[in-house]
Structure 1
Amino acid sequence: MTSPAPAVPPSRNVGGDAGVTAAIDIGGTKIAGGLVRSDGSLAAAARRATPRGVDGDGVMAAVEEVVAELARDEAWARVRRCGIGSAGPVDASRGTVSPVNIGAWRDYPVLARTGAALAAHGARVPTVLVGDGPAMTAAEHWLGAARGHDNALCMVVSTGVGGGLVLNGRLHPGPTGNAGHIGHISVDVDGEPCVCGARGCVEAIASGTSIARWALAQGWQPDAGATAGADRSAAGVAVAARGGDPIALAAFDRAGRALAAAVAATATLVEVDLAVIGGGVAAAGETLFGPLRAHLSSYATLSFVQGLEVVPAALGTDAGVIGAAAAALELL
């Protein structure tokens, strides 16, 4: 990965014909790709399910299929760079990934393998790797809710909890591409163990999986008359909370409090003035944002963080692909 360019937003980081950026978004359920124009619009898109029950090269085969499909589009001739955003942990300094939700990849050389796939279709271009949290952050800073903010925290609250930082007007991925991984800040030092090995992490309290697990453990049921196929996920808990179910409301209050503590701690440490929150759990809207904002005032107490604003993410399902492209435009 090359040294960062001067501190300007990605949309102004290139002049003249910026060409097209190939972007790959790698997650536990899907691998998406796109050819992204310099204004952030998609010239082409491709998608594959993330393979299960295969080895590392079997997963890589899906990435190669996405690249091959993109290469059939006429815009491929204008590809000038490539960005990869991957579930983490990632190690951008070595070009490897070890995603918690892709067990077949441990220290997998995804940067080199993707570069080879690009070259096989005639695109020998510089390529950068970042975590999916920083990628989402790059997208929101470029075109979304963090646009125009020089210091912001962006978070994905979904099956897990991740995030990224914009500091002094630039994406700050850190040396390995994992900076801003707020899901593994401990907000309860005596809390339950997290999958990462620590205790009381934000992810262990506020992820969709954790919200649903806690609610069920407290006796919540989706619907007294529901069938076995009833929604027992965080989305189901959100529906119950909107209906006034006390356990469901408590589950989201608990999650909002954990998020508030982590957001306030981050703002106090690096002086961000905006927190953007996206992901599946954020789709609950005020069911999540209401308690989060209410608890934030108890944690963001110092004068320089009292104005901290919390807003929903603006970009939708293409945020991962757009973010991988935005990271490439800014970092290469």
Structure 2
Amino acid sequence: MTVLAIDIGGTKFAAAAVDPGGTLVRRVELPVGADPTATLTELLDEVGTAGLTGVGIGSAGPVDAPAGTVSPVNIPSWRDFPLVTTVGRLLPGLPVVLAGDAQCMALGEWWRGSHVPRSRALLGIVVSTGVGGGIVLDGVPYLGPTGNAGHIGHITVDRDGELCPCGALGCLETVASGPSMVRWALANGWAAPAGHPDAKALAADARRAVPVAQRAFQRTADALAAAVLTTAALFDIDDVVIGGGVAAAGETLLTPLRQAVAKQAGLGFLRRLTVSPTSLERDAGLYGAAALALTAAAPDLSRQKGPLG
């Protein structure tokens, strides 16, 4: 019962055939390119579709899971794009399931992550150009009515903060995303390397103990901790897994984040929370998309010794 997993990002598309044991049988990755729809077609042609029983898609959002449409912020030509219908036409006869990319990242970590011993409740966070999230409860991704549950990037962390592109004030994304961190650091005196004012350069300076760079990461850690603990208080979360480009800074982000969580946690059940980096790196979303497809093809698998059992 091999399924096709598709990971739609703002800069790259990836796909893989995945068996029930979680082995990526074939994996292909392509840059989005000038024509994303043509890239999607090429991707499916390259990975091959023989013997598949279903398709799972994790996409950058916003998504509208009931409608099967996506509007990735970094793909302007895809606004309310009928992704499920398009894939269904390219792969006739196969069921297609859609969720957000961060939700798939969380589900992939729950299923195949090496450091999470099958948590009852897991929060996955992608900290990159934006900030996204997904929640897994008892092995089932909690998607919500529209498919956007777990969107932690739009929890308010500063009521007097910046206006977010979503229209609200002080969202986590206005503090913790890579561009937001860089913008704040530059406004506070960071002398970025010529031609490289990005989060990677900011992390390098933080590791070199450049004060403003360290403050940028501390500010992000404090905001992330507030959002994480808010979510944990609502859902009684066991584990938090962090991925994405900014999270590639490793302990430069994770150490102050763990310290901020410990400092801000009040109730006892919040103090047991663990924070870890992704163990699946770029493939977490593919594993999660595969899990969606496997359970859609055989819903009782999550209650048996199947891919999620």
Name the TM-score, length of structure 2 as normaliser: 0.92
- The answer for the alignment partner of 1:108 in structure 2 is 81
Matched, 1:24 2:9: no
Matching residue's letter, 2:40 = V
Q: Is the Cα contact below 8 Å between 1:23 and 1:34 reproduced in 2? A: yes
For 1:33-112, what aligned pairs fall within 5 Å after superposition? Answer: 33-52=15-34, 58-71=35-48, 76-112=49-85
Matched residues in 2 for 1:156 and 1:83: separation? 19
Report what 1:276 is aligned to: 241
SS in 1 for 2:281: coil
Q: Does 1:185 align with 2:155?
A: yes
Equivalent residue number for residue 102 of structure 2: 133
| 1:167 lines up with 2:167 in the alignment | no
Matches within 5 A, 1:145-160: 145-160=115-130
Q: Percent identity?
A: 51
Q: Unmatched 5+ residue regions in structure 2?
A: 298-309
SS in 2 for 1:48: strand
TM-aligned CA distance change 1:331 to 1:197, over 3 Å: farther
Q: 1:275 to 1:183 in 2, by over 3 A?
A: same
Distance apart, 1:147 and its partner CA: 4.2
Q: Select the residue among 197, 204, 220 that pairs with 2:167.
A: 197
Question: Gaps (5+ residues) in structure 1?
Answer: 1-18, 53-57
Q: Could you report, residue by residue, the CA deviation over 1:47-93 in whole angstroms, capped at 9, with x for unpaired residues?
A: 221134xxxxx32111111111122xxxx322111001100010111
| TM-score, with length taken from structure 1 | 0.86
Asked if structure 1 preserves the Cα contact closer than 8 Å seen for 2:125 and 2:240, the reply is yes
Secondary structure of residue in 1 paired with 2:55: strand
Greater mean deviation of Cα atoms: 235-244 or 39-48: 39-48
CA shift for structure 1 position 94: 0.7
Partner residue in 2 for 1:296: 261
**8 Å CA contact 1:188, 1:200 repeated in 2:** yes
State the distance in 2 between where 1:308 and 1:78 align.
41
Which of 180, 189, 203 lines up with 1:219 in the alignment?
189
Distance 1:87 1:317 in 2: 14
Aligned-residue RMSD, C-alpha:
1.4
Match of 1:311 in 2: 276
Partner Cα separation in structure 1 for residue 174 and residue 282 of structure 2 = 24
> Which contiguous aligned blocks of 4+ residues in structure 1 show a shift greater than 6 angstroms?
none
Q: Is the 8 A contact 1:150 1:170 kept in 2?
A: no
1:239 partnered with 2:204? yes
Partner of 2:111: 142
State the Cα distance separating 1:298 from its structure 2 match.
3.3
Counterpart Cα distance in 2 of 1:153 and 1:146: 11
Distance in 1 between residues matched to 2:202 and 2:225, nearest whole Å: 20
- CA shift in 2, pair 1:103/1:147, >3 Å: farther
The alpha-carbon deviation at position 284 of structure 1 amounts to 1.0
Check the 8 A contact 2:134/2:142 in 1, yes or no.
yes
